[in-house]
Each structure stands twice: as structure tokens, then as C-alpha cells.
Structure 1
Amino acid sequence: MDTDVLVVGAGPAGLVLGIDLARRGVPALVVERAEELFPGSRGKGLQPRTMEVFDDLGVLGAVRAAGGTYPVGMVWQDGRRAGEHRMFDPAEPSEDAPYNEPWMVPQWRTQEILRARLEELGGRVAFGREVVGLTQDTEGVRAEFASGGAVTARYLVAADGGRSTVRRLLGIGMTGETVDPNPTLVADVRVSGLDRENWHLFPPGRHGFLALCPLAGTEDFQLMAHFPDGTAPDLSLEGVREVVTARTHLAPEAVTELRWASDFRPRAALADRFRSGRVFLTGDAAHVHSPAGGQGLNTSVQDAYNLGWKLGAVLRDGAAADLLDSYEEERRPVAAEMLGLSTRVHRGETRRGDATRQLGLGYRQSSLTRETRTDPGPLRAGDRAPDGTVAGIRLFDAFRGPHWTLLTLGDGAPAVPDPGARIRVVRGPAPGPYAPGLYLVRPDGYLGWAGDTAAGLPAHLARFGLSGVSVSGLSGLSGLG
């Protein structure tokens, strides 16, 4: 094999997977058919759960420095400010959920940050590598490139977008619906005559809706314009100027520069399968969203985050290969739920609130989840592991890294010895939403196992290649194991 994992596509999902594999010591190669990273701002909203993922991957500081909060919407009417519009329901940060609101970063900048982190960890992106052929057997996958040559890998992950070549080569269909049959223009522009403290909204009059959102950390605005008559947008500078002039009080020369433009017809579609043999689908290759609600990029990142630790467990830790079956089991229902949410937001049937933050998503019904308590309370195995402080240790600091974490909370919780580098132990009083007991936190920050005693925990750990861990016989352990 040339590599353990071949990742096709250097969008957010592909780069996140590359990072996660690199920090686990799993040989992987990320290939991209274009000659450079995606140049547009398209997926500009990072939800709180994605910010938690980025905290774990070591890019949160750079992401926060590159972006900012969403501005208040300013509604314009006949060249005058007619009122404000809040895009998101407000939410206050808390100890268990420190990232409370979406963070705006242009997608091109997010991808630059992720690529830099991948290279820092020793990974790389090979550009100009378009996959045109694919074969697999029981040992591995062979991908052939338009430029010539091929790569063989134990597993291949398709992160090559909504028009995925890999998905087509596998013959996997997508089931969905058109959310809006009419096109939308999205472009990155430089504009004079508008402040950068507001998201400028121009309601439809004789023409369709138009919005100009200042992109945090840049001098650009993201323009979005709907074409309810079905007219195909003109993606040239003159075409964009014409649209802005027709729908706002701005003169054509106010649009001083066009940096990127594209058009799309919003649709919602879900791949019929997320896996075929040794090939997995992630991100837009597996699910295509309306941009409303900001769920597409975020769901894609979390696909990769779910798959990365499982590939690592199989390829590095000796876990059985059937662990990888849980990727589709866990992620396809979540993607379906987020597709429905995106569509409802697009149609004005629900607001951008708690559900769009993605903090409530979990895997209670997963075959990987074990809840052994008879009276578990509101926080259960399968749920996201909340932040908090235990014996002076912030839990998100303890979770950060490719390891598992075992929380032994409360005076009556059984103590455990240091099980080694792959499991970190935190002992102390139960904080916030946690009840006293034992909690095993997966590498992706979800509670995989919970119990009042350690009965059954060693057998559960063995499924992930973590056999031989003793959980009895010692007391008084505190802090990080």
C-alpha cells in the first residue's frame, strides 16, 4: 500500500480528517483535483459544536483570530434604514458550553488554517490530482488519476463535494428534493458606501432578495442574491454591479472588485449509503444542504471527526474492522436530521436557534454506546460530553488530543489506575450536568459508556483495541492520569 488512507478532496471535511489521522500517526494522503484550495467564502458560519471540534484539533486560536461574531442585520427600504433583524436567537456562554454562538470565518480562510495545521503535523495536500478510476478488493483500494499514476490505500474517503466523482464511480445514489428551483448568486465583493457593523438586507421589491454581509477578518462582503424568475445569474463584475444597482440604493461603481462568484439552486439530498466496502463518503459527497442555517460545512466537519478516530482505532490500535460500520450508523441519521433542519430554516418554518448550534446532537442509539446506570438522569451515554472543571482541571483541556478520557466523579466513584497514554483519567467532584459515577469519553467528545460501577467497562474498552485496562484496586487518584 502507498498509504493507509487516501482522502479525496481538500475541503473542510478532507482537511479535518487529514489532521485527525496525522495526529494519530496514521499515514494518509489528501488529494485535490483543483490546483489550489477553494477560493470563496461560501461556508462562512462555524457553529458552537464545530468550535469545540476545532478546540480539540488545535486550530481554535487561529479560527477565532481570523473571524468574528455575526453582525446585526440591517433592513433597508428605499435607500433608508428601516429596522434591525437578528439572524440567530441569542445564547449566553456557560461553563458546560463555552462557545455559545456561530463564529464567522470565510470558508477559504478556514481551509487555509486547516491546511497549515495539517502540514504542521507532517501531512500534506497533493493538488492537481483528479480521481477518474476506482477499484477495490478485500485488501485495499486503488485510485487512478487523470494526470496518470495511481495510489493504493487500505481505505479511501471521499470528501470531494456534492458532485462527488467517487460517489458516482461507486454507483451510490442520492435521495432528496429541490428546496428552491430558482438560482441564487453568491459572490465575494469589495463594496464602498456601506458600514461593516451590519449585515445589509434588501427585501425583494420588483426583483429578488439581496444581502451584503461583511466578512469578518477581511475587507470583503459576501453577496447573496435570489433570482425568483429563474434567470441564470451573470457572474461577471458587470453582471454583479447590475444586480446590486437594481436592488439597492448603491451606484454600480460602489462594487469596486469581484473576487469570487458562483451560483446554485438550493437542494437537500442524502446519499443512499455512506460506505461501500473500503470507501467512505463524508461531507457534501454524502449530504447536500441548503445554506440556510449554516449546517452543511459543520455537519461535514463532524463526519470527518467521527470517522478519524475509528480509522485510527482499526489501523493503529488493533480494533476489529467492524468498528467502521458504526460510521454510517451514527452519521447518516444526524445528516438526515440536519438536512431537514436546513430546509425548514430556508423555508422560514423555524429560526436559527439551539438546534442549529448542534450541541444537542448525540449517539444514544448507537451500537457503540453503553448506559449501565439504572437512573442516569438527563446526561446519558451517547450525549456530547459537556465542559466543566474537576479538581481545578478544565474538562475540554483534558479531552484535547487523540486519546480517550475516563471521568471518575464524586466521593463514591471507583478509582482507577493510570491506564496509559491512550486513556487519560480525571478524578474529582462531579461538575455541572454530571452526576457522580464513571464516564468514558470517546476521542470525539461523546460519552461512550457510563456507570455507577466499573462492571463491564474493560470489555467495552476492548472493542476499541484498549484491552488489558484495569479499573479496580487503587484509590486516591486525582488530576490527569
Structure 2
Amino acid sequence: MLRISPKSFVAFCSGQRSPQSINIYKYTISRYIHTPAPKLATAMSSPKPVLIAGAGPTGLMAALWLSRLKTPFRIVDKHAFAANTSRATVVHARTLEYYRMLGLSDRAVSEGRVIEYLTFLSNRKQVVNRHFSEIGGDISNFPFVLVYPQDLNEQLMIGELESSGVKVEREIEVTDLTQRDDGVAVSLKNKDGHMEEFEASYVLGCDGGHSTVRTHTSIKSSPGTYSQRFFVADVEAEVSIGLRNVNICFNAEDFCLLFAMPNGRIRLVGWAPDEVTTENFTFADVEESVKRNSGANITKVHWFSTYKVHHGVAETFRDGRVFICGDAAHVHSPVGGQGMNTGLGDATNLAWKIAAVLADKAAPDILDTYQEERRPFAERLVNTTDKSFTIATDKGLMGKAWRTIVIGNIAPLLFQFGFLDTIMFQTVSQVRIDYIQSAMSDKNYAGTLYAGERLPWVKFEDGTDNFQPLTALNWQIHVYGTLDVEVKEWASQNNIALQNFPFNENMKSKRIPENSMILVRPDGYIGQLFQGPTKDSLHKLQSFVDKWGIKSF
């Protein structure tokens, strides 16, 4: 029989209870009222691994997050080798912020080429020249466009995974999926035709626009294709325009995009003449157009290709335990260099949530917020780039008017008076993406700052900033102003890291209320925020944590 000392009984009744004593007393009482005793805590059995299908940038980003959060996984790819061509070329500020969280931003910036200016040239006359640091220098630590091609992105992430003992399993493809209550039975085939049956907890389809994973789900996707054919080329050339710029060169008839690559070559993008076909289309067919728009004298062509642009968004990003990310979920025009960056954002959003659920550090319902948060953005992106792309590439009167009147005359005035600067940088850099409508945000706000927004970036006089703690990849409390002892106790009781920043005018300009406390998500977005540590706000914060089953990693 379990004996309880008088001293322990007095302590229990007076409220001085430890978790162990509570379990003991519940067990004792249960013997008399015939309710089952609570099970003593036991070590959790290891969850089934996550399967990532596709080792492009999206799949590799998901793998890095799962690896850092110690979540078991496999990453497979049907191709024998990683990308060896540049493909997508641009990395924006929000992606570099994610890379910084993973400790990769310094290397990416050193290996890439920093583009500092946005330049429009109409008939080779400069009409817009905006310095990115003047536009975004107070918004992000990365106020520029980084030319860092897809192959270098993949090499960066593969090297980081391999340093942690993780290797991509190549020439392995998914041939079938069968979902069950506790996982997914996946059929895998290697290059020799050998079949393997693998049990996964969840499957991430990061395998591109022609996703095999997606075909084995109920997810529907019917992307369209623009009729216009485009060209892309890597060349050597003599140029008179700036190579620290993204140069958008145009006239009434056509356009080309020109910027420098990290390897010293120049990237050209433009559209193909209507009269040529894929079979006989060569760089010679567009060389005169490129020279007319940019003044570039091409001395050597290293690579030349043509393509048609697809566009569309899958009806859903989830089917049970199967999720799709990146091009498997959405494809769109290359306007603004958004494609690869959007896939990397998808992976970041989803991976930490899966890791938390498998570690019993978040309720499974949190996985529903992946689609809630990422699909609306993908849909807006496709719609806006569709409109811009359709008008800008139109060869009729509408397109000519847009290029000559709007881009050539009206846009320069808007930039000159500052009407386009901030919104242009925030939109293209993806720092403006928010999850305010997510169920997890719960319409919570303080002042004009809302849960679901990216945590505003604040730089301090000593050169540090409030993004440095985000490398923990974990939930954390930020207090901007005076730290109340009750907040400190709450953070300690919930095992959530606490950061206290003295309030300054920069915070005020970023809409952060004085003495506010912000619960920051692992991906750097605001989970909840309150102005002032009142009992009501701490109660609401505790309710949020309890509702979503949030625990620190």
C-alpha cells in the first residue's frame, strides 16, 4: 500500500505540489473511486521518418530544417546528379533571412553576386535607377538582390546536409503511395528496377511541376501555358551599362533583361521572334534585338535555351499525410524571380510544423495551417505576375503602350517621388508575406502590428539585431521595453527562451508597441503579441500555447 506522510499531505493541500506528487495522489485517489491511474511518463518511440521526394532547392530546404530539428527523414531524387545549370538565378531578402537562421547566409552572399541597383532603360536611355539599400536598408539586413543560381543553392545545402551525415539518395523514384491512419506506405524504385516498400510518417512532394507524388494523391493541378516563347542565355559581352544592376532594357517592340552572374558571365532573358520555331531558333535570331535594347556587344555564347512559361496553383497543398511544395504546388512566370524563393518559403513553413508534431511539441492541427498560410500567397503571386507578364509581353498596342508610356514615363515619376520604392522592395523581396488570416494568428494584434506578420527587423547601435536569436529555430518570447517579472516566470515555466530588448525609436517606427511581448514562431513570424504584461494577456498567451500544444524543441 502507498503511504503518504502527514508533512506531504499538508504540502499537497496547501498548494505546494510538484508534478510527481500530483501523479502519486491521483494514483492513490483512483484506487478508491475506480478511475484509471495516469500512466507514468515513458520515452516516446521514434516516429516513422518523413520522406522528401525531390532534392531541388525546396526539398533540400525542408531536409535542412528537419535535420536541425532532429527529425528522422529520407530525401530521395530520381535524377542521378544535382542541377549543373543555373536555372533559377535570384535569391531575395526573405530567403537570405531563412539562410541566416540556418547559418548559411554569409556563404551564400560571398559566393553570389550582390546586385545593388534596379535600372530601367528605354531605348538605351536610363529612366530609373534605384539603390536597393536606400529602399530596403531599414527593412532587412539584406537590402539587395543576390544573383545566386539554383545549382549553387543546391551545392550549398547538399554540403551542409552532408556535414551532418545526411546524403541525398539518388536515382530513386516514388511509384506508389498508400495512406494509412498512422503513416504512408511508399513504393520506391531504384535505377536497377529494385522495389522497396517504405513506411513514412508524412510525404513531402518537392518533385517539381510534373510531380510524381502529386499524381498519387487526389490533388488536382491544371497549369496553363503562355503562347509566347522565351530565350535565356549566358554570354560574354562588352557592355556600357552597369553590371551592379538588374537592367530591364526595352523599347516599344520588345525587351531584354541583363545582369551579371557570379562566374563573370552575363545572363540575358527575352522573348523569341514569332516567326522562328524551336528547331531553328538560335542566339543569332535575337542578337540584334539584345544589342538594340542594351547596347551589349556579344563576344561569346556559353549557353542558350528557349522555354515556354507555365502558370497555375494546385487546388490544395495537402492530401492527408501527403503535402506538396514548390513547383509541385504552384508554377508562375519568371517576373521578379519569385519561383525558387517561394518554394524555399514553402519548405520553411512546413518543415518545422512537421518536426514539432512528430516530436509531440505541437498539436497535429498545426499542419492545416501550411495550406492556409502558403496557398493564398501562391495564388496572389500567380495572379499578379500573370497580369504583369501578360501586359509586359504583349506585342500588340496594349503592350507597346505599357512599355513606352507606363514603364517609360509614368513609372520613373512614381519612383522619383517614392511612391513605388517601399512597396516594390517589400513585395519582390517577399518580406511582405504575412499569415494574418491563418487560424494560428487568431486575429491577434497590438497597435497596428498583427500576429502572422514577419517579425519586424530592428537593428541596434552596437551592430546586433533582433533576428540573431532566430538561429535557435525555436519558439521564443521577445520583450521590447521593460521586462516584467511575471513574463519572465511564464517563459521559464513554459521552457521558452526569453529575449529582452530596450525600447528605441526604431522599434516605434516598425510598429512595435513599447513594453510589448511577442511570441515568435520558429520561422520568424509573429505567433501572438500583447502590449504590456497583464494577467489577461498572459492568460491569453497560455491559452494559445495550450490550444496548439506548443512546446519548445
2:232 corresponds to which of 172, 179, 186 = 186
Cα drift, residue 257 of structure 1: 4.6
Residue 460 of structure 1 aligns with which residue? 544
| Counterpart Cα distance in 1 of 2:516 and 2:351 | 28
Pairing of 1:99-114 with structure 2 (within 5 A): 99-114=142-157
Residue 108 of structure 2 aligns with which residue? 63
Residue 91 of structure 2 aligns with which residue? 46
Residue 408 of structure 1 aligns with which residue? 479
Q: Does the CA-based 8 Å contact 2:440-2:527 persist in structure 1? A: yes
Residue 167 of structure 1 aligns with which residue? 214
Decide whether aligned partners of structure 1 residues 410 and 281 sit closer, same or farther in structure 2, where only a CA change above 3 A counts.
same
| Aligned residues between the structures | 456
* CA-to-aligned-CA distance 1:339-396 (integer Å, 9 cap, x gap): 22322332348975432222121111211114556xx212121111112258976311
| Counterpart Cα distance in 1 of 2:214 and 2:275 | 29
Residue 474 of structure 1 aligns with which residue? none
| Counterpart Cα distance in 1 of 2:260 and 2:366 | 44
Q: Does the CA-based 8 Å contact 2:118-2:131 persist in structure 1? A: no
2:210 aligns to what SS in structure 1?
Answer: coil
Q: Which runs of 5+ in 2 are unaligned?
A: 1-45, 393-401, 403-410, 412-419
Cα drift, residue 279 of structure 1: 0.6
Pairing of 1:204-283 with structure 2 (within 5 A): 209-215=255-261, 217-229=262-274, 231-234=276-279, 239-244=282-287, 247-248=290-291, 254=298, 256-259=300-303, 261-283=304-326
* CA-to-aligned-CA distance 1:272-314 (integer Å, 9 cap, x gap): 1100111100001000010011211111111111001100110
Cα drift, residue 82 of structure 1: 4.1
| Counterpart Cα distance in 2 of 1:230 and 1:331 | 40
Decide whether aligned partners of structure 1 residues 256 and 389 sit closer, same or farther in structure 2, where only a CA change above 3 A counts.
closer
Matched, 1:126 2:169: yes
1:293 corresponds to which of 330, 336, 359 = 336
Residue 332 of structure 1 aligns with which residue? 375
1:13 corresponds to which of 47, 53, 58 = 58
Amino acid at match of 1:438: M
1:367 corresponds to which of 439, 443, 466 = 439
Matched, 1:434 2:512: yes
Residue 475 of structure 1 aligns with which residue? none
| Counterpart Cα distance in 2 of 1:365 and 1:200 | 36
Decide whether aligned partners of structure 1 residues 256 and 228 sit closer, same or farther in structure 2, where only a CA change above 3 A counts.
closer
Amino acid at match of 1:298: N
Q: Which moved more, 1:134-143 or 1:150-159?
A: 134-143
Cα drift, residue 140 of structure 1: 1.7
Identity of aligned residues (%): 27
Residue 529 of structure 2 aligns with which residue? 450
Q: Does the CA-based 8 Å contact 1:12-1:111 persist in structure 2? A: yes
Q: Does the CA-based 8 Å contact 1:182-1:265 persist in structure 2? A: yes
| Counterpart Cα distance in 1 of 2:249 and 2:450 | 45
- Give the aligned CA root-mean-square deviation in angstroms: 3.3
| Counterpart Cα distance in 2 of 1:461 and 1:279 | 26
Decide whether aligned partners of structure 1 residues 257 and 302 sit closer, same or farther in structure 2, where only a CA change above 3 A counts.
same
Amino acid at match of 2:189: F
Residue 398 of structure 1 aligns with which residue? 469
Q: Does the CA-based 8 Å contact 2:487-2:538 persist in structure 1? A: no
Q: Greater Rg, structure 1 or structure 2?
A: 2
2:348 aligns to what SS in structure 1?
Answer: helix
Amino acid at match of 1:157: L
* CA-to-aligned-CA distance 1:170-203 (integer Å, 9 cap, x gap): 242225544x31111223x332433645666664
1:455 aligns to what SS in structure 2?
Answer: helix
Q: Does the CA-based 8 Å contact 2:47-2:358 persist in structure 1? A: no
| Counterpart Cα distance in 2 of 1:247 and 1:341 | 27
Pairing of 1:75-86 with structure 2 (within 5 A): 75=121, 81-83=124-126, 86=129
Residue 29 of structure 1 aligns with which residue? 74
Residue 143 of structure 1 aligns with which residue? 187
1:92 corresponds to which of 113, 132, 135 = 135
Q: Which runs of 5+ in 1 are unaligned?
A: 470-481
| Counterpart Cα distance in 2 of 1:291 and 1:88 | 22
Matched, 1:425 2:498: yes
| Counterpart Cα distance in 1 of 2:275 and 2:306 | 12
Q: Does the CA-based 8 Å contact 1:2-1:152 persist in structure 2? A: no
| Counterpart Cα distance in 1 of 2:340 and 2:215 | 21
Cα drift, residue 33 of structure 1: 1.4
| Counterpart Cα distance in 2 of 1:403 and 1:419 | 15
Q: Does the CA-based 8 Å contact 1:382-1:448 persist in structure 2? A: yes
1:10 aligns to what SS in structure 2?
Answer: coil
TM-score by length of 1: 0.84
Q: Which moved more, 1:248-257 or 1:273-282?
A: 248-257
TM-score by length of 2: 0.74
Cα drift, residue 3 of structure 1: 5.3
Q: Does the CA-based 8 Å contact 2:238-2:296 persist in structure 1? A: no
Q: Does the CA-based 8 Å contact 2:223-2:312 persist in structure 1? A: yes
Residue 38 of structure 2 aligns with which residue? none
Amino acid at match of 1:425: L
Residue 472 of structure 1 aligns with which residue? none
| Counterpart Cα distance in 2 of 1:95 and 1:422 | 32
Amino acid at match of 1:55: R
> Looking at both structures, which has the greater relative contact order when contacts are Cα pairs under 8 Å and sequence separation is at least 6?
1
Residue 155 of structure 1 aligns with which residue? 202
Decide whether aligned partners of structure 1 residues 241 and 121 sit closer, same or farther in structure 2, where only a CA change above 3 A counts.
farther
